[in-house]
Amino acid sequence: MFAARAPAHLTHATTPKVFHFALLSAIEAALRGLLISVWPLLLYKIWQSAETISLIYIGLGVSALLWGGLIPALTLWLPRRWTMTFGISLNILSGLLVLTGKPMLMTVGLLLHALGTATFLICLNAYVLDYIARVDLGKNESMRLVFSAICWSIGPFLGVWLMDWWLPAPFILALLLSIVLMVSFWRLRLGNGKQISRSRAPTPNPVAYLDRFIYQPRLVSGWLFAVIRSCGWWVYIVYLPIYCIESGLGNHIGAAALSVTNTLLFLSPLVLKFVKKYGVRLSVIGSFSIAALAFGLAWAATDQAWWTITALFIGSFALIMLDVCGSLPFLMAVKPSERTEMSAVYSSYRDASGILVPTAAWIILLVSPISGIFAVTGLVLGSMALLATKLHPRLGAEKLTINSRLN
């Protein structure tokens, strides 16, 4: 006799696991990593001015920040799965605009890429908080970084190499990756996430959830850690390549440095074990301190280009460690009933850093060479090391769960 089988319409999708979210993150990382070193070089090729690029990124950051704040309201009108789809579609449209070859449309393409990325990451964070247990958040961060490591390692240098070969090439490949991301998301059948809020509770408006965020010091400090960590990456990704060009080292050195740095993402499980043993507090303090010292040395060695690059390269190691542990203070403080709203708040750190860094860089470049940006970045990173001393000594030490293998 044949075993009875449930009709297709009665079967249920497999509950998403850490692996599934790591896979989505890896595909998105492949897309973003491919273009992360291409965008600054493309803008420099079009506009031929670091100051102009800073102004463009200021407008980009403001737009992305405002857009990110609207996404929770958008999900009330447009179900989350369609909001995620819309975000991926913006990345597809971004690539198509770049392929027109028109400077203004290419610049608008960068804006759409930023908006699409913000939409995707906010929705993904909300899905993670819906489906991943709190004790597994550290494991999720570790596996996400491991899965994304090869994409971040190969992508920056590959993107610049393809751009030198044929300018549209990296954007055509990015279009294909966006389509793969769309298909993968729909195959996982994540739906609209878990609805755990009381159905009769009033829908919070943006001002309401921002008030709740501001009056929770753990959330504020966790957000600041993410903002300043992202500022460090902004300087490393955008202004290091420009420094290399102005120092006569060419297009490839900055992209190669970023690619080599990202290979350290493979070590994230070991970093997570260190965090579990010594706690989030010590890990965050140490990482920000090392990064601050490295950026300061980069400024001091500005007349020796290779020494400057080496110092920034060392500082990027500390930024990698912050990628592993820097988000945990915020994620561990989020209330289940505020997942979507606080995911939007947390994801705004990218947009906030996208405003702070180019604004500060534009001001600094009026009175200083590009090395002045490295000095200011070092000071700000050092201030976060001081703030991290306020964290509880046992934060994370008892809550992170480390398995002997990732499954």
Residue 72 belongs to a domain: yes
Question: What Rg, from alpha-carbon coordinates, does the chain have?
Answer: 21
Separation CA 315–CA 294 (nearest Å):
5
Are 27 and 181 within 8 A, CB to CB? yes
Assign residue 174 the CATH number of its domain. 1.20.1250.20
Residue 279 belongs to a domain: yes
Q: Is 184 helix (H, G, I), strand (E, B) or coil?
A: helix
Q: The tokens 């040395």 sit on which residue? A: 297
Residue 117 belongs to a domain: yes
Q: Which amino acid is at 202?
A: P
State the 10-residue block means of pLDDT for the chain, 407 residues long.
Answer: 45 66 89 91 87 89 84 83 93 94 92 92 84 72 78 89 93 95 88 50 54 80 91 92 86 85 78 80 92 96 91 92 80 68 75 88 91 95 93 60 32
pLDDT of residue 276: 78
pLDDT of residue 214: 80
Are 251 and 245 within 8 A, CB to CB? yes
Q: How many CA atoms lie within 13 A of 2 on its CB side?
A: 3
Segments forming the whole domain that contains residue 178:
16-192+206-388
Outline where 263-388 has alpha helix (H).
268-300, 305-325, 328-331, 339-367, 371-388
Q: What are phi and psi of 278, to 5 degrees?
A: -105, -5
Residue 407 belongs to a domain: no
Residue 8 belongs to a domain: no
Residue 247 belongs to a domain: yes
pLDDT of residue 153: 85
pLDDT of residue 406: 28
pLDDT of residue 383: 95
pLDDT of residue 208: 60
Residue 328 belongs to a domain: yes
Q: The tokens 């750190």 sit on which residue? A: 349
Which positions ≥6 away from 234 have C-beta within 8 Å? 353, 354, 357, 358
The number of distinct structural domains making up the chain is 1
Residue 396 belongs to a domain: no
Are 318 and 290 within 8 A, CB to CB? yes
